Structure 1
Amino acid sequence: MESSASEILLDFSPMFRLYKDGRIERLLGTEIVPPGFDPKTNVESKDVVYSQETAQIVRIYIPPNAAGKLPLLVYFHGGAFCIESASSPTYHNYLNALVAEANIVTVSVDYRLAPEHLLPAAYDDSWDAAKWVASHFGGNGPEEWLNRHADFNNVCFSGDSAGGNLAHHMAVKMTKEKIDGFNLAGIVLTHPYFKGKEPIGDEIKFPAEREKIDMLWQIIYPTTTSGSDDKWSNPIDDPSFGSLGCSRVLVCVAENDIFKPRGLYYCEKLKQSGWGGEVELMESPGEEHVFHLHKPSCENAAAKLKKVADFINQGKSRLKSL
């Protein structure tokens, strides 16, 4: 007879399973690829430790024939805070393509995963990584690629799913804890992982999925006092919601994604918040959650890649016009 310790607490297949004894069985997101030269895009990458305390790394990308100062993207990967990494082939391939398309420098952030490291560890690590990146302002940081090529007047944060959640909260934190010389021009939230206790819009069509996501949140953030309505999961009602430290936001949603209603709601409420910046929305018809990572060659993924690249480079165009 199976012991209670080995019983499944939450089956989040095909991504992972959580067990009653606290273990996680990762079914996806464990494969890694080394950095280096990508022959498809001619993009180069390297891994650098940004925290000696936690041994977390960032993977830095530079485009072919990088010259002068280029827009800087800080990227936070998805995976429900439980799987994937900056070394994952899924994210490595996506960012190689984005860096080549947009001609930008990118820093892809690794952060500690739950349940081994419960929230808010991912938020703490992401902020540490952002501060490490900012330490290169003025050309005096530990990593020469950033010293030489990153334009700290034109920085964007981005992420998908849980990474979109992280990107939002890092942008809010930029307002609370300003970093000298670091201009956050915009954020790109792709299929962001936002939730709330009460369903909105089409969320009502997914009762079983909503229950699993709510349960997951309680497991990976056991100290929450309000469950899926706390500020990390549901930032809309947070008094700091409209205090984004940037002037432009692009939210990408997919038609058949359970997180689509929250993405639409985020845009609507941000416009009403008094924030005063520009909000753009891109919806991919007929697509599922993070489809662009799994079907990178499809037409909608190509359109999304171009939209994100254009959005990041808008900051460069605006600076030239000043």
Structure 2
Amino acid sequence: MASSPLIAKEITYESQTLIRIFSNGTVERPSQSPFIPAIPKNDPSARFKFKSKDIIISLYPLIVARIYLPKPNDQKDKKVKFPILIYFHGGAFLYESAFSKVYDTHFRTFVPQANAIVVSVEYRLAPENPIPACYDDCWHVLHWISSHSLSAEYTGMKFPWLINHGDFNRIFIGGDGAGANIAHNVAMRAGTEALPGGVKIVGAILSRPFFYSSYPIGSETVIEPEHNIVYSVWNMVFPSAPGGIDNPVVNPVGPGAPSLATLGCSRIIVCVAGKDHFRDRGVWYYEAVKKSGWQGKLELFEEKDEDHIYHILYPQSENAQKLIKRLVSFLVE
């Protein structure tokens, strides 16, 4: 039998080191950090601090997450309730994962300090699943977690860690980069749609959020769209976006954008870094929320000598620990 001819695998699209798309439909993500497993029960480094587990939240579409549960300070207190932080990882909507080494390492540092349950969401990535898939997945996770506040007869599959240890009066969402953009859009949806059991989002953490517009702000310079990496990424992750780069999900004060006064949470902290390309966008968003008439408590946190995701990449560094301590305080205020 004659062998089938080889199908050429040529690069049809490449965006710096973020992503490569090939003629046969395969996708490579050069910037993706390695995946590591959840911590096994007998891991001595975590045994007395926390435990983690990978869980399936939905099969259609497939949505999974890595959940972290801190150990109670008093081992005899089995009824202690923890705040719940639902976290959306960064990666330009194109790469990274709840199972990435960089995010897992960060939460191994964060969870014991925060004494909070963290649900790190594995949402669908573009370009295979363009926006709004990531927004829908993350809203689904928030909805599913909120359903744990209801009696068993009102909901389906439940996860024991949430039932036994979750405080549904202290629900938080958060993310970095694209994940912070997702957190904003989830909070906007929560302002108009009810969650099961009347659950409310207490606070949102937006670390170096991914926002943009067709016009420069702050120290940004004008770059023609064909040479602008942000345009290139946006056209890939949301090719059908009405209004393009001024669509309200990426330009929250763009044409037709709903009022930021409708944000569905009572506290927001926007974290920026002085050396980050998106620094001025974070400040821009903070100022827009402040001027919108939103009635919650708003804070801007800046570390002038750091770059984009320093607290994720180097969680043990002095400046990362400073930010982590502030975020821990944000969860308990």
* TM norm structure 1: 0.90
> Is 2:188 the counterpart of 1:172?
yes
Deviation of 1:120 after TM superposition, in Å, equals 1.0
Q: State the match for 1:156 in structure 2.
A: 172
Q: State the match for 2:268 in structure 1.
A: 249
From the CA coordinates, give the structure whose radius of gyration is larger. 2
Q: State the match for 1:270 in structure 2.
A: 289
Question: Matched residue of 1:92: which SS?
Answer: helix
Distance 1:267 1:111 in 2: 26
1:300 maps to a residue whose letter is N
Residue pair 1:6, 1:20 contacting (<8 A) in 2 also: yes
Q: State the match for 1:106 in structure 2.
A: 118
Distance 1:92 1:67 in 2: 26
Residue pair 1:139, 1:147 contacting (<8 A) in 2 also: no
Q: State the match for 1:199 in structure 2.
A: 216
Give the alignment's Cα RMSD to 1 decimal. 2.2
Question: Matched residue of 2:51: which SS?
Answer: strand
Q: State the match for 1:318 in structure 2.
A: none
2:19 maps to a residue whose letter is F
> Is 2:249 the counterpart of 1:232?
yes
Residue pair 1:82, 1:113 contacting (<8 A) in 2 also: yes
> Is 2:288 the counterpart of 1:285?
no
In structure 2, do the counterparts of structure 1 residues 284 and 108 end up closer, same or farther at CA, with 3 Å as the change threshold?
Answer: same
Q: State the match for 2:32 in structure 1.
A: 29
Deviation of 1:209 after TM superposition, in Å, equals 11
Q: Which moved more, 1:103-112 or 1:4-13?
A: 4-13
Name structure 1 gaps, 5 residues minimum. 315-322
Distance 2:258 2:326 in 1: 30
In structure 2, do the counterparts of structure 1 residues 254 and 178 end up closer, same or farther at CA, with 3 Å as the change threshold?
Answer: same
Residue pair 1:248, 1:279 contacting (<8 A) in 2 also: yes
> What whole-Å deviation, never above 9, does each CA across 1:272-306 have from its counterpart, x for those lacking one?
10111111111112111111111222111110111
Distance 1:39 1:225 in 2: 51
Distance 2:15 2:132 in 1: 22
Deviation of 1:6 after TM superposition, in Å, equals 2.3
In structure 2, do the counterparts of structure 1 residues 6 and 135 end up closer, same or farther at CA, with 3 Å as the change threshold?
Answer: same
Distance 1:210 1:246 in 2: 37
Higher helix share: 1
2:13 to 5, 9, 14: 9
Q: State the match for 2:60 in structure 1.
A: 53
Deviation of 1:98 after TM superposition, in Å, equals 1.3
2:283 maps to a residue whose letter is L
Q: State the match for 1:319 in structure 2.
A: none
> What whole-Å deviation, never above 9, does each CA across 1:238-277 have from its counterpart, x for those lacking one?
1242211111100000101111111001111101101111
Distance 2:189 2:8 in 1: 41
Aligned residue pair count: 311
Question: Matched residue of 1:176: which SS?
Answer: coil
Distance 1:276 1:4 in 2: 57
Question: Matched residue of 2:171: which SS?
Answer: strand
Question: Matched residue of 1:307: which SS?
Answer: helix
Q: Percent identity?
A: 37
Question: Matched residue of 2:285: which SS?
Answer: helix
